[in-house]
Amino acid sequence: MKLIEAIEINNAAAAAARTRQFFLACGFEPLHLRSFLSAHLQLRFPADKIDVGVGVFGDLAGNLSRARAAGAAGTAVAIGWSDLDARLGLRQLAAWTPEIQADILRTVEMSAARLHTELEELAQTCPVALSLPSLSLPPLASTPGRQAAAFELELACHAAMLGKWAAANSRIRVVSADRLDEVSPRAVRRDVNSEMFNGFPYSHAHADALASAFAALLQPAAPKKGIITDLDDTFWRGILGEVGVAGVSWDLTHRSQAHSIYQKFLASMASRGVLVGVASKNDAALVEEAFRRDDIGVLADRIYPFCVHWRPKSESVTEILRAWNIAADSVVFVDDSAMELAEVKASHPGMECIQFPKEAGKLLALLAKLRDWFGKSAILQEDAIRGESLRSAAAWREAETAPGATFESFLSQAEQRVTIVVAKSDATGRAFELVNKTNQFNLNGRRYTEAEWDAYLVRPETFLATIAYTDKFGPLGTISAALGRVEGNVLHLDSWVLSCRAFARRIEHQFLQGLFDLFDVGEIEMDHIETPRNGPTREFLGLFHDPITKAEFDRACPALYHSVEMNRQ
């Protein structure tokens, strides 16, 4: 983005009715970084006007405190070397003497400790995007430039330790130095004239790259949920039906190591809760045999479902989407054939369709793209069991439709257990994630920023309710969340979602029953708004009037077979 483009984006939003307040904390003059950050955030909140507050020149630690007081929706923090010690900046550049270097190291250690404290306190009030020093150190050592000096490495170590601590804090997201290097080469990052005369050290291009990274971390895109992969010349090298199980390869000996790396990447994603399915034109028996090879990188039980037949790939993809019960725009399809990709894309235009590279050298670019699409700041317990819960849902459907079984008898024997917790905080982040990604059973489609979520729950009359579920087929984890408030004899639900994996188990009925019992209210009022995708919610609420009285609910509620534990914190 050019500076003039950033200014135009910011000016175009001046008349927006609502303003979102962010903060940029730095020790230098914010100038163009502020403009670029506002513009990139504006693109992520097109209906609002973005206002980026700033602090005082030369006082980064104090600006972190000011950001906390400002009550911002998020704070971008750009640390420079001069914030750790002013003598590391061009304006007050120090001499090279060992005595001065030793004193700088002592000051840097103290400055890093104070920043640690201020960042920790700031992160309790809003999400933080943090950039460690992104400019090269000035020439402060006596070694040749091609030789790293111990002094420089020790400075880098102090910065890295601060970054390591920050990255472990779930409320702080650290800008990737590697990714910043890719988009903003170090040789063109610094504007010496601007730094010395204006106090702003960055070139326009680097300010734009850093602002883009900040915006992406402060308002990250929802991660994709599933990846569907082809097999022949994608998951492995070779055509299984032609060369047989022993003939396909994914190893160094056959120069097919790229496929092994891809397999291990899929295994890693599956372990983090990404759904992995197979769509292959192949012989199902041969595929099953191939997955029994000892050297396979992904065990068959990490993949669900396998759609292996000779029909069009688009039909396989449709089957998998139905089994997962998620939309095409949450899924990526990987295949080596451009024709297959085009065929699937034509049937599922919202799906990302990407070609497996024929050249091994291009593999890392594919994996980097997949990481961006599927990456999450934190891995939750529910992520680890997501694949297993889908198999549980399939087993549920199979048992439900077994010959001779009635639905009521099936429910009564399913050993369903529900835990309802009412609290004032979301310790794991699972409820926040559910509300912001669930579409089908969603009361109104409302999404929240972290700051809006925190601001809602800090009000004395509000609460967060969650449901964890398990049955004899296995656990589903936390599958429902609601934000609500109580006013007199009426409980208002402002948001309510239920995972599609938990449909048809009468959990939604049990949840309302639990709310009536826990809060002892006479009515529950829903802030229901129809969206293009929340048909299941509309269908459920159609069973009742709004508000739902306790008497009406008791008359309309079907038999519930859950073992229920309730906890109001």
Residue 66 domain-assigned (yes or no): yes
From CA 496, how far away is CA 502, in angstroms rounded?
14
Tokens found for residue 375? 């990456």
Q: At a CB cut-off of 8 Å and minimum separation 6, what does 439 contact? A: 327, 445, 531, 533, 534
* CA dihedral sign, ordered 401, 403, 409, 413: negative
Q: pLDDT digits over 318-364, tens only? A: 999 998 888 899 999 999 999 999 999 999 999 999 999 998 889 99
Please tell me the least confidently modeled range out of 40-44, 182-186, 406-410, 440-444.
Answer: 406-410
- What is the pLDDT at residue 211? 98
- What is the pLDDT at residue 376? 84
- What is the pLDDT at residue 400? 64
- What is the pLDDT at residue 397? 66
- What is the pLDDT at residue 17? 83
Query: Once rounded to an integer, what is the mean pLDDT over residues 54-61?
Result: 96
Residue 356 domain-assigned (yes or no): yes
From CA 525, how far away is CA 528, in angstroms rounded?
9
Q: What is the largest CA-CA distance in the chain?
A: 88
Q: Are residues 23 and 152 in the same domain?
A: yes
Q: Which helix (H) or strand (E) holds 255?
A: none
Domain count, the chain: 3
Query: Once rounded to an integer, what is the mean pLDDT over residues 387-414?
Result: 74
Residue 382 domain-assigned (yes or no): no
- What is the pLDDT at residue 451? 86
Domain that holds residue 75: 3-218
> pLDDT exceeding 70 applies to what percent of the chain?
96
From CA 87, how far away is CA 82, in angstroms rounded?
6
Q: 490-498 and 523-526: which strand pairing? A: parallel
Q: Are residues 214 and 305 in the same domain?
A: no
Q: Chain-wide mean pLDDT for the chain?
A: 93
Is 94:104 a contact under the CB 8 Å cutoff? yes
pLDDT at 416 over 80: yes
pLDDT at 544 over 80: yes
Please give the angle made by the CA atoms of 502, 438 and 499, to the nearest 5 degrees.
10
| Amino acid at position 180, single letter | L
Q: Which helix (H) or strand (E) holds 453?
A: helix 450-458
In 3-state terms the chain splits into helix, strand, coil percentages (rounded to 5) of 45, 20, 35
Q: pLDDT digits over 6-40, tens only? A: 999 999 988 888 899 999 999 999 999 999 999 99
Q: How confident is the model at residue 255 (pLDDT cuts 50, 70, 90)?
A: very high
Nearest to 375 by CA among 228, 268, 448: 268
Tokens found for residue 61? 């630690």
Q: What is the CATH number of the domain that holds 481?
A: 3.40.630.30
Query: Once rounded to an integer, what is the mean pLDDT over residues 168-190?
Result: 95
Q: pLDDT digits over 440-473, tens only? A: 899 999 999 888 999 999 999 999 999 999 998 8
Q: How many helices (H) and strands (E) does the chain have?
A: 23, 18
SS3 434: helix
pLDDT at 404 over 70: no
pLDDT at 488 over 90: yes
Q: Are residues 281 and 168 in the same domain?
A: no
Q: Are residues 163 and 267 in the same domain?
A: no
Residue 394 domain-assigned (yes or no): no
From CA 413, how far away is CA 392, in angstroms rounded?
15
Residue 395 domain-assigned (yes or no): no
Rg (CA), the chain: 27
Establish whether the linkage from the previous residue to 547 is cis, with ω within 30° of 0. Answer: yes
Residue 396 domain-assigned (yes or no): no
Q: Are residues 183 and 241 in the same domain?
A: no
Q: Are residues 416 and 473 in the same domain?
A: yes
pLDDT at 93 over 80: yes
- What is the pLDDT at residue 351? 97
Q: Are residues 181 and 280 in the same domain?
A: no
Query: Once rounded to an integer, what is the mean pLDDT over residues 259-269?
Result: 96
Q: Are residues 235 and 214 in the same domain?
A: no
Q: Are residues 323 and 205 in the same domain?
A: no
> How far is Cα of residue 417 from the mean position of the Cα atoms in its chain?
29
Query: Once rounded to an integer, what is the mean pLDDT over residues 135-153?
Result: 90
Please give the angle made by the CA atoms of 341, 342 and 343, to the nearest 5 degrees.
90
**Stated pTM of the model:** 0.83
Please tell me the least confidently modeled range out of 188-197, 204-213, 371-380, 558-567.
Answer: 371-380
Q: Are residues 268 and 200 in the same domain?
A: no
Is 140:88 a contact under the CB 8 Å cutoff? yes
Q: Are residues 209 and 236 in the same domain?
A: no
Q: Are residues 345 and 451 in the same domain?
A: no
Q: What is the CATH number of the domain that holds 370?
A: 3.40.50.1000
Residue 365 domain-assigned (yes or no): yes
Of residues 391 and 100, more confidence is placed in 100
Q: pLDDT digits over 364-382, tens only? A: 999 999 999 999 877 777 7
Q: pLDDT digits over 270-323, tens only? A: 988 899 999 999 999 999 999 999 999 999 989 999 999 999 999 999 999 998
Alpha helix (H) ranges present in 148-203? 150-167, 177-183, 192-198
Residue 325 domain-assigned (yes or no): yes
